[in-house]
Every structure is written in structure tokens, then in C-alpha cells.
Structure 1
């Protein structure tokens, strides 16, 4: 009986959490550009390391920016690349002389190369707002217009935007990439939902903008320099803690697209890196969310085993699983519809079964092991 009550309480807490995200999603209105003349100025910051295979696509998308060239600059920061990434950026600089492009070398100061690269760029930047993306992404032509109008409409001091995956026609994706995208859709839906209930704790540095002065006033990443990743979420949580105004651009047209991980090992390493920073979150709601999600998935595994050896009624196991299955379906379907990726839902059944195993495995590894990132090894 006690086990049943425990499982029921965890499921109820999880159900309440997902319902709050659904409510938050509905509270954020769809955002549309009004075609206003550009006003704010932006420093586009892009760290890169060994991205020779991805940089050409990113740089092509940067060349298509429709924002007035005098109102933005592009700062590319080389983080010790061992391939010809630097040469590709130098060619971009020569091919677009009308753009304000600057090539910098990372100035390492901490255990986080990416945070150091962003800090290096910001300290050498000239404009009022910092817009960040990653070297394996492509950006929409009106990217800076979305940030500009959001700032002017809402007085936002930090703005997050949607991120999707680059789709290549005629190529069948491996199953782990469908799983990766499904998991990412749940994270994006939760992100937007949390913004909607004014409890934002997640965002993605691939599509992010914030006021430069806030970064400099708050000393940037000084509170979490020991963690290699988290340049995006720690800034968000830090700004919210100080009462700064944050917002999310709920528009598919503002989406920045990124690449899938190349193999399952890279996916696991990425998720370990993401999970490893959870304990350092300053947001109580973020920690609560992480604990409830973990307990829900762990409970499903434990009680499945107990039901298998007849120590727990399988009828209740199926009931609690179906509760999770259905509320997750609604949340994820909202995200895939928003991103025009409804076809992804054909993988929902097997992904929902695999996810508890995957998430508990990754969470366990994040507690005891380090991870690989951009050819470097980081300790726990």
C-alpha cells in the first residue's frame, strides 16, 4: 500500500508539472514581425572549435541577414581548433568586406572554454545587445529583426528563441536521431511552458539574445566558471534572480536550426553534459522539475521490475504509465506542431518506452562520470 501511495504521489506531481507547462504554453502569444525599421544594435557571438564541416552552412546563413549592416557585427571566436576552421572564417571575412566581421582567439581563464570564448567576444564587442548561436547552426534571415521587435515591444532584457533540427531530404535518419529530436521537443515545450508561467529556467544558447550591460554588470559567468557548460541556462537563471525581464519568441519563423548528433555515443555525452549542471541550478523550480522528472522515470523502471516479480499490481503500473504517456503526448505534440514536424510522432510509442531507461542511465552517469565535448574531456 505504501508503495502504491508513493508511486501515486510521484505521478500526481509529474502530472501537475506537465499541466503547468501546457498552461504556460497557451499563455505565450504567437509572435509576428510588424516590419518595423531596425533600431537596436547587436554583436553576434559565435565560438567555434573544429567546426570545418559546419561553418560553411552557418556563414552562408549569416551572409543572408536582412538587418542593416551598420547595426550589427559578427564576432567569431576560435577555441583552439585543430582543423581549418580558422581559414574558413578568414575566407568569409574577405568575401564579405561590407560586413563588420571580427576574428578573435579565445582567452582561456576558467574550466569552461565556451564561457571564456563568449566573455572574450563580449569584452571586445561594440554594440548594445549580444546575440549568440552555435557553429553547427543556421539562422533565419530575419533573426535580428525578431530580437529587435521583441525588445521594443516588451522591453525584454533577455530573449530566447526556438531551436530545431536541420532536415535533409532523401536521407533516412537513424533511430537514435528520431529519439534525440523527440527528447529535444519535450525540452523545448517545457522551456516555452516555463516562460509562460514566469518560471523560466531553460533556454538554448543557439538562439539567445541579452543586453550586454547586464552581462558586464553581473560579471557574466563568475558564479559557475567551474562548470564547462551552462553558458545559457545559468545566465537566464541569474538574470531572473535579479528581476530582469526575460521573454521567449514563440514563432517558428524565428527558429535557429542545428545538426543532430553524429552517433549514439555523442548523444549520451551531450545529455550527460546537460544533466551534470542540474545540481548547480539556482532556480528552485528548475531543481524541483529535475527531481520530479527523474523520480517519475526511475519509478517506472523500479515498479516495472516489482510488477514482474509480483510485488506490485501491474494494473496500477499501466495506469500510471498511461497517465505519463498521454500528458507527454499532448505536450510534445504541441511542440512538433509548432515546428511543423508532426511526422515525428510516429516514433512516439517506442521513444516513450525507451526514455525512462535512457534518462535514468544518463542521470546516473552524470553523478559519477565526466564527459567528452569538442575533443576535450571534462571531469564531474
Structure 2
């Protein structure tokens, strides 16, 4: 009976939190998009890449379709020792689009951080720092080589920056869905992260953002010294940047304009997804935020109660009752939250797909959480311990 009571208490806490978070960002969203402002902000777009030859053509097509004046932005590709034809493809794109200021540099250089300490920057952070050091414009826009950029991406940021005094503006990221179940899992999992991110921004507790769609003032980035103490961690260039801006008391905002959302491809295998989640877990454990860790524990424990109820129900039918009750309530509340986030990004939300994902979500979450605690992980041909 004590276990059952504890499970129900945990369920109530989880449902209340998800509803509070969702109602928070719904309440603050404007029903009408802001009026577009004439282009005047200048952007340096930084794109780190390593072995991205298969993804670059889609990125190139979206860059070609950008409607922002080419005189107001530059693109800096930083190659992180790619082993494929990424370098050649960027060179060819550069030659075919001389109207766009495109630069291609190698990240293989001194990897001491900007503070001059002996701490070395991880490869990903090094590529971003290298691009920023070479940038010419006051606003940095970071993205990835496996994304597709919306046509009015830069106009959206130009308007957002004009309408606020933000030093950092975070944008949305959507993972494309295909016919595979794994892509649908990643799509809805990313949607949940976007909902949590937007909820944290609107709740004045911004703790998570995505480096595939992140804009900030160059000088503010340099002043915030975002890599101090975290330079060696393989991932987290986004959340540690956000953390650095928060510590400096800088103004932070979230852009909810659907035309600012970038699309990225899903990982193709479970092994790749597992390694990615292990990489993400390592960065979250190093984030200086009790809030994000508390939410992570709450979500993990909620999944654990569902799995335990499935097992314990064979000895005590009351656990089966909790399993059905908990799953149905969780499915409805999670669906309300994610469908609301989908409306923000003008996405189609399929309840049938979400139901299928919800059935395996507790097992995936527990597996990723437990296996992320031990051993090294691999990412793009390199092994890391953090």
C-alpha cells in the first residue's frame, strides 16, 4: 500500500508540473506574429561540421533560398577534421555562390580557451569559438550542418532583436519524421524538449536551448566566458552558453515565430541515438541548475513507476490499476503539452503516432538514463568520457 501511495503522489506531482509548464508558455504566447521589421541586423552564421557530406546538399539548398539581403550576413563553416568530402562540397558551394560571403576554415589550431587557461576546448566548442573569433558581425547565429533553414529565418531573428533588448535569443528545432518508428520517437522526444525549453523561458528559469538554432551578441558571448569550467565537456555548447549568459545577468529571450524553426534529420540507428543520449546526459549533469536536475529526476521516476507497476502487477493487481490510470492520465497531459507546442511551431500532431511512442517511452528513458551513468561514449568517430 505504501508503494502504491507513493506512485500516486509521484503521478500527481508529474501531472501538475507538466500542466503548470504548458499553461505557462501558452499564456505568454502572442496570438498574432509580430510585424516584420526592415532588415538591418547583421549576422555571422557559424556552422561546425564533421563528416557531413551526406547532409550538406540539403543545407546548401536552404541557404540558397534565404530571403535576407546577402550584404547583411556571412556564413563561416568550420571543419572539424572531416574524413569525407565535406570540405570539397563546401568549396564547390562557395564557388557557385559568390554573392554570399562564405568562409571555410579548419578547426585544427590551438585549442586553449579564450581566457588563456590550460583547459582545452572540446572539438565542438573549439569549432564554434574559432568561427566566432573570425566573425565580422555583431550577432552570432549558430546552427548545424545537418539542418534545413527556413526561408525567412533571418527576418524572424531580425524582428525579434528589433522588438527586444535580448542578448541571447533561442529558437526552435524540429526533427523530421519518416516512416520509421525511430524517427517518430525522436520527433516527439525533441518536441517534448522544446516544450520544456519554452516553458522554462516563460517561467523565467531558462535552462535549455538548442545550438542548432541559437542567436546571441558576439560581445556578450565573449564577456560571459561561457567555456570556463566546462571547456572539456564534449557537448553542451548551447546550454553552457545559456548558463553563462544567465550568470552575467544578461537578457535572454525565446523566439516562437514558426518561420524561425529549423529542421534537422533523425539519427538512423538505435546505436547512434543511444550514443547521442549518453552525450546529452553528460552535459546535463554538469549544468549548474538544480531546477533542470529536479525535473530530470521527476521525469525519470515517473517512467520508473510505470515500468515497476507492469512488473509488480503480477503479484498485486493494484499496480495494474495504477499502470492503466497513470498511463492514460500521463498520455492525455503529455499530449496536451506536446500538441500545444506543435501549434506554436505550426506542426501537425498525430495522436496515433504519439500513442505508439508513449508505449515505449518509459523503457527508452530508463535505458538511456541508466546506461549514461557509466563508461565512455562515441560520437562521430571519437570517444569521450565526458
Tell me if 1:350 matches 2:356: yes
Measure how far apart 1:113 and its partner are: 0.9
Q: 8 Å contact 1:18–1:327 — kept in the other structure? A: yes
| Kept after mapping to 2: 8 A contact 1:158/1:246 | yes
CA distance in 2, matches of 1:369, 1:309: 35
Matches of 1:279 and 1:337 in 2, distance apart? 31
2:132 aligns with 122
2:92 counterpart of 1:91: yes
Equivalent in the alignment of 1:68: 69
Pairwise CA distance, 1:21: 1.5
**Aligned-pair CA distance for 1:373:** 1.4
Cα deviation 1:312-364 (Å, max 9, x = unaligned): 54323332332222211111121234444435321222211200100010011
**Does 1:162 pair with 2:172?**
yes
What is the distance in 2 between the residues matched to 1:150 and 1:311? 54
Distance 1:145 1:30, change over 3 A: farther
* C-alpha distance in structure 2 between counterparts of 1:28 and 1:145, whole Å: 19
Residue 293 of structure 2 corresponds to which residue in structure 1? 287
Q: What do residues 16-46 of structure 1 show as CA deviations (whole Å, max 9, x unaligned)?
A: 2201221222123256352322222111000
Residue aligned with 1:209, SS: strand
Q: Is there any run of 5+ residues in structure 2 with no aligned partner, and where?
A: 112-119
Superposed, 1:118-157 pairs within 5 Å as 118-157=128-167
Q: Where does 1:1-380 land on structure 2 (aligned, <5 Å)?
A: 1-26=1-26, 27-29=28-30, 32-106=33-107, 107=109, 109=111, 110=120, 112-166=122-176, 173-310=179-316, 312-342=318-348, 344-380=350-386
Q: In structure 2, what is the Cα distance between the partners aligned to 1:30 and 1:367?
A: 42
Give runs of ≥4 in structure 1 deviating > 4 Å: none
> What is the CA distance between 1:90 and its match in structure 2?
0.9
8 Å Cα contact 1:15/1:327 also seen in 2? yes
- SS, match of residue 215 in structure 2: strand
In 2, Cα distance between equivalents of 1:70 and 1:247? 26
Distance 1:356 1:111 in 2: 35
Secondary structure at the residue paired with 1:46? strand
Once the two structures are overlaid, the 10-residue window that deviates more, 369-378 or 354-363, is: 369-378
Q: Is the 8 A contact 1:24 1:195 kept in 2?
A: no
In 2, Cα distance between equivalents of 1:90 and 1:30: 43
Change (3 A) 1:234 1:162: same
- Aligned equivalents of 1:79 and 1:33: distance in 2? 38
Give the structure-2-normalised TM-score: 0.92
- Provide the C-alpha distance between the structure 2 equivalents of 1:240 and 1:5, rounded to a whole number of angstroms: 39
- TM-score under structure 1 normalisation? 0.93
CA distance in 1, matches of 2:383, 2:30: 42
| Post-superposition offset of 1:249 | 1.3
- C-alpha deviation, 1:282, in angstroms: 1.2
Q: Rate the CA distance shift 1:31–1:76 in 2: closer, same or farther, 3 A.
A: farther
Gaps of 5+ in 1: none
Q: CA deviation at 1:102?
A: 1.2
